[in-house]
Amino acid sequence: MSDARVLVADAGSASLHLRVLDGDDRELAAKDLTEPPSGPEAPEAGELAGLIGDFLREAPPVSATGHRLVHGGPRLLRPTAVDDGVRAELDHAAGLAPLHVPPALAALDATRRLLPDVPHVVCLDTAFHAGLPSAARAYGLPRDLAERHGLRRYGFHGLSYAWALRRAAALLRRPTESFQVVLAHLGGGCSACAVRDGHSVDTTMGFTPLEGLVMSKRSGSVDPGLLLWLQTAAGMTAERLTETLNRESGLLGLSGTSGDTRDLVGARARGDANAAYALDVFTLGVRRGIASVAASLDRIDALVFTGEIGEDQPEVREEVCSGLGALGITGGLAGLTEGTPSHDTVVSRSGAAVPVLVIPTGEIRQVAAETRAVLTELGARREPPAPAPGESPP
């Protein structure tokens, strides 16, 4: 099924991206909703089914659907074909990523109703990190508490990392089996990941996508004692705290104006001190994250930027790399005057001790690839066994 035509659905808290890709990853149909059609809340299930149904009526027929799912929970650790049992299991993950999983499950339910005769596959951001070393995934909590509730670092952005890793290794002509690399996905959500010999060995996001780097509107890591203080001394409810940490913090909260680095870089150039402050906090946080995961490697063969900010914001890349001299990474990157790379590109100087790469995000194509791989597995299971020599075929 490597040539299967696949519908890819990537549903976020306030967006829906639909693509139909052929076996060569050529885009045959596309639809993007970057704002919910009914205002600040996600569309109702019937409305969502209507949007997807309209798209499918105009798109060519598909052999399968692949769904990006941010969190697979503690038991789903690889791309998986969805049946009723798997669908029930996914409900357990909804509370671990409440901004991301419920919209994705709504899109999954809608496509299962609209396309009842094709396989549906969930491709999990957490799957890339399923083999994290035990020390890297553990929190310093009582073991019985952690084991009872599944309290561990799951890691996220795995689909982005899987794509970027493969493309970076190809660009540098290095086999992934002997490649040690730090990947930084910088977008609305931000994280860093260390990969050793093709496997994730450390990452900054943890039990939920809220941990780690400062993000567009999310706070990233905050002293847990501070959070307890806000609840006990400042009287913030859990609901108010959740809203603050997920939607009102990060670059938006620091600057008071925008969570978009493009706006902030422009405002800083015009003398906006709050924009400069927000960018300083953000880029320092990215450097800290890169340095922290690099501690799980023997060496750094490359630093890779991906995600919207990683791809489109050369000023951020430059400020991050200029402060990483202790890791052998330096600034002076291409892109500040040459424009944003539109393809896999080495942006560091020739002969740099650690090459710095920009890899445009490929989550959609990674979902399609993983979906086709599951279809191939399903097809192999359904094939009757070959007859032994001298036997007649069944």
The backbone region for 19, taken as left when phi is positive above 0, alpha when psi lies in -120 to 50, beta otherwise, is: beta
Hunting for tokens 């740099």 — which residue is that?
352
* Catalytically annotated residues: 125
Measured distance CA(377)–CA(379) in Å, rounded? 5
Kindly report the backbone phi and psi dihedral angles of residue 271, in degrees, each rounded to the nearest multiple of 5, phi listed first: 95, 15
Hunting for tokens 């909703």 — which residue is that?
33
Q: Can you tell me whether residue 342 is helix, strand or coil?
A: coil
Angle between helices 314-322 and 273-294 (to 10 degrees): 60
The structure tokens listed for 61 are: 């027929």
The structure tokens listed for 164 are: 């970027």
The structure tokens listed for 169 are: 């290794």
Angle between helices 363-382 and 158-172 (to 10 degrees): 100
The per-residue b/e assignment along 94-116, b for 16 or more CB within 10 angstroms, e otherwise, is eebbebbbbbbbbbbbbbbebbe
Measured distance CA(351)–CA(348) in Å, rounded? 8
Angstrom distances, CA of residue 5 to CA of 17, 29, 335: 17, 11, 36
